[in-house]
Structure 1
């Protein structure tokens, strides 16, 4: 099997209902020579509760998405999530598999993302002469 592009899950089956728990951390580029300066932001990691998984999951969102201002315990949805795996050496000749969830965005249920067009007809609200 080759999962270089990640696994595209059926969101409802894999995660069920999801509840926003807050931001866990910001992930920044690592530069040991410039540790005193602000390093560029790579992504933000948010905690969500998943009804199907029965636990909290971490979801990584790219840096170009605005920081989320969603109320605690608000129902949310993931936009185009991908599941990836990586191995982390444990030091005793074995490795642990680390599963990560990445998404294009996290939005409140029933709300539109800022990138979705408003379904307003052309010329609506314009005064007629």
Structure 2
């Protein structure tokens, strides 16, 4: 039981760090912000916003996407367009990072805080 809890906690932390890395890369390129800790917190808050809204029938995923971009908009300067661009590049970055980790190392992990990755 304890091993399962520890394993789940380690998987969560790794996925959060990967999601944070994707947002960090994106924010570095798009908004010229060089703060990995800020990106990890953004990934966590974005995942919470997604979880609180994605369950709504029919339009939940759309509301969740707007909420996730809203968190990015709140955490980074530049407005909604910049936030959407940060989100898009973060998603692409997460896909590349996960492809490399899962193909080369065979880890089978995801990215917490980046929807669809």
Q: Higher helix proportion, which one?
A: 2
Q: Higher strand proportion, which one?
A: 1
Higher Rg: 1
- For normalisation by structure 2, the TM-score amounts to 0.26
